[in-house]
Amino acid sequence: MEGIRQDILQKAIMNAGDGFYITDAGFVISFVNNVFSDIYGYEKNEAAGKHFFKTIFLNSGDAELIREHLAENHCWHGRVMSVRKNGEEFPVALSISKIFGEDGRIEAYAGKAGDISEIVKKEEEISHSKRFLKFALDSLQTQVIILDEAGVIIHFNEAFEKFGKDHRDRASSWTGVNYLEAVDDEAAAGSSPAAKAAAGIRDVMRGNKEIFSMEYLFSAGSENMWFLMTVTRFKENIPPRFVIGFENITERKTAEDELVHAKFEAETANRAKSRFLASMSHEIRTPMNAILGYAQHLLREKNLSPRQREYVEIISQSGKHLLELINEVLDMSKIEAGRMNAVPEDTDLFALMNDVKNMFEVRAEEKGIYLNFSIGEDVPQYIFADGKKIRQVVINIIGNAMKFTGEGGIEVSVGMDRKDHKSSKSVIAIEIRDTGCGIAEDEVDKVFKLFEQTGEGIKQGSGTGLGMPLSLSYARLLEGDITVKSVPGDGSVFRFTFKAELLSSAIQKNRRPASRRVVGIASDRPRPRVLIVDDVASNRSVLRVLLDRCGFLVSEAADGQEALNVIAGCVPDAIFMDRYMPALDGIEAAKLIKMSDGYKNIPIMMLSASALEENRSEAVQAGIEVFLRKPFIEEEIFECLKKALGIDYIYEEVRSEAPPAAGEAAGRELASLTEQVRARIIEAADMCDVSGLRKIIDAQLKDCPVLCAIINDFLVKYEYPKIIALINGGEADAGN
């Protein structure tokens, strides 16, 4: 039984919560438990035989004081700084007691050591918090008092004390004053604000409210001051404590009357701006509808030469860019109100940069300056980001550079900046370097300020001062920035950075839908009848040509009243309705149609040149099923009719033009390539491997100058499918 008890005792000591140790009379360690070994970093039995004070004490002075104390006392306990085996210093709670033998002499010493690093840390934090709280309260201009559960002031800051001396004629301390009783006295004297304050304070004290606040007027002689009083409770405080703040809001209250007037003027100006934007939108979108509409029709023609098709595509792309520009100007108020968001999508960065290059090439040639684009070998072709905003920023910066560059040219380079380790995104940098007039140091800030221009900008006499501020707003929406370095006379360097998720080409190919075009209606039913209602003949013509070509029966009306007359003679299956028209506008005409039992089920799609959101709302209220903005995209038109009428279409695949004929010389050079070289070129082009393609050209196509020139031309434009088609002898589909 006695053996079992000793075993249990030994286990208890070895696994006790604190570090337990025993030394001999000369302070040489004879035993330590597991916790002691863990605290100090010693292996089992490694500490045995070491001198206690020399092993664990950081300060020999502390050890000496303890030994002196033990010389006259039975035991010692306290806090000291200790040191682990690895040299790390830390605080411990240490106790040491004498163990006497039967002869009354000291036989050994025993005690325990506990790591109190966390306790000391928390104590320091609490002490720091108390000092910081006092400092913070005294730093506030707001008056602050702290009450106990009886309403007695137990703390107040310097602002409250100063206000009492200046305006309450109180020079003595506020400590111990029952603030709640003082407020009750004022309420009893007939002060309505005091009665409200007393009730609010009690609501917070009783737990009926988490916070109470009120505004009140304080009068001191001829001076009137407004205050905001706020009462809150310290959470998890035992005993409970309550904080009351008194913020001087006199300036705010004085400004409120001015703000009411200013708000009225701003709302008046905003309504005027909205009317102007609506009018501008309508006036620009109406001709743009015809431009983009007929560009789409021309792209359907089979007999266009490659050069003609390229010109039409540039017209279409430039028109779409102008339309995007209009949309962004109309959405300027969203940026000002902080409601503009980035809309990420799968984006072909190479194609985006190539589109931008095509837009500016002709203009650069006309000015006699160079325009060079380069993309780093590590830049991915496909990214997940807001491509529209990226494109707009690049266009704005290049447009600015083009304006101020008369000699030399512009270099545009795209490179990887860094990986954002806090997310899955990477940072891409686009740098635009020009040899223009440069910007004076004291005018650099003006570049990004709304409606401001530099001295050179004023001399040019063009621009609105909107492009670069909008670009900076877009860059920040894209989690990036725009910086500029410039030397007058030596040009400027604009650096645009943004964050994007990187996509592999395989992912992009899987996500990208096949490109196809509607050429007819796949249905045995009678041809659908569509009525186009618009007061502008070119708008009716653009839509009519599109629908006629694909098999719809189309009729027209120049206003709402004429539309009602047409419907009475021949009921259409669907109606495209303009918004603003003379005689009877689109909204009123739609309401009359929807009120008629015979016509109410006819789907109405509104095509409006207005971009205001309220136009969409009023269209929905009038019973209009779909609201589209001009200029329309033909895919939108066909999709609306498909949903409204339940029809299917006949499609044709849209293929890019085959690569240009390389001529007899290129044909001979192409025939001389081995299958291995062909395969390597196709593989590199399929992977969009710029570096790999250039290495193959330099190493394998030295004797093929014509073929090199053609491939390099495609490489500069990032037209990898055309490279593949060329190597396949023109038989491959360059569009895939």
pLDDT in tens, 454-490: 555 545 544 445 678 888 888 998 999 999 998 888 8
Predicted pLDDT at 212? 94
Backbone φ and ψ of 99, nearest 5°: -120, 120
Q: Are 527 and 553 in contact (CB under 8 A)?
A: yes
The lowest-confidence range among 80-94, 103-117, 423-437, 691-705 is: 691-705
Q: Is the pLDDT of residue 38 over 70?
A: yes
Greater model confidence, 706 or 256: 256
Query: Which whole number is the average pLDDT over 316-339?
Result: 63
Predicted pLDDT at 109? 93
Structural domains of the chain in order of their starting residue, each with its CATH number: 2-115 (3.30.450.20), 134-248 (3.30.450.20), 331-511 (3.30.565.10), 663-727 (no CATH)
Predicted pLDDT at 557? 94
In percent, the amount of the chain with pLDDT more than 90 equals: 27
Q: Is the pLDDT of residue 58 over 80?
A: no
CA-to-CA dists, residue 602 to 465, 590, 608, angstroms: 47, 10, 19
Greater model confidence, 618 or 571: 571
> 499 pLDDT band (50/70/90 cuts)?
very high
Token code pair at residue 277:
């934007």
- Residue in 577, 586, 579, 574 with CA at minimum distance from that of residue 641: 574
Token code pair at residue 179:
């603030």
- Residue in 292, 347, 301 with CA at minimum distance from that of residue 634: 292
Predicted pLDDT at 708? 80
Query: Which whole number is the average pLDDT over 540-556?
Result: 90
Question: Which residue carries 């996509």 as its tokens?
Answer: 503
Predicted TM-score (pTM) of the model is 0.40
For the four alpha carbons of 129, 133, 135 and 136, in that order, the dihedral sign comes to: positive
> 661 pLDDT band (50/70/90 cuts)?
very low
Predicted pLDDT at 656? 45
Q: Are strands 143-147 and 242-248 parallel, antiparallel or unpaired?
A: antiparallel
Predicted pLDDT at 221? 74
pLDDT in tens, 385-397: 999 899 989 998 9
- Computed over every residue of the chain, the mean pLDDT equals 81
Q: Are 400 and 467 in contact (CB under 8 A)?
A: yes
Predicted pLDDT at 611? 55
Query: Which whole number is the average pLDDT over 37-65?
Result: 86
pLDDT in tens, 181-210: 999 998 999 888 999 999 999 999 998 999
Three-state secondary structure readout of 486-541: EECCCEEEEEEEEEEEEECHHHHHHHCCCCEEEEEECCCCCCCEEEEECCCHHHHH
Chain centroid to Cα 722, Å, comes to 36
> 229 pLDDT band (50/70/90 cuts)?
very high
Q: CA-CA distance, 403 to 439, in Å (whole number)?
A: 13
CA-to-CA dists, residue 484 to 7, 272, 481, 512, angstroms: 78, 36, 10, 36
Token code pair at residue 364:
């650069």
Predicted pLDDT at 275? 63
Query: Which whole number is the average pLDDT over 603-616?
Result: 75
Predicted pLDDT at 334? 54
The lowest-confidence range among 224-233, 416-425, 515-524 is: 416-425
Predicted pLDDT at 443? 79
In percent, the amount of the chain with pLDDT more than 70 equals: 83
Greater model confidence, 712 or 366: 366
Query: Which whole number is the average pLDDT over 580-608?
Result: 90
Query: Which whole number is the average pLDDT over 289-314?
Result: 77
Question: Which residue carries 């033990």 as its tokens?
Answer: 70
491: left (phi over 0), alpha (psi -120 to 50) or beta: left
Strand, helix or coil for residue 468 = helix
Query: Which whole number is the average pLDDT over 684-711?
Result: 77
pLDDT in tens, 135-168: 777 777 888 988 998 999 988 888 888 888 877 7
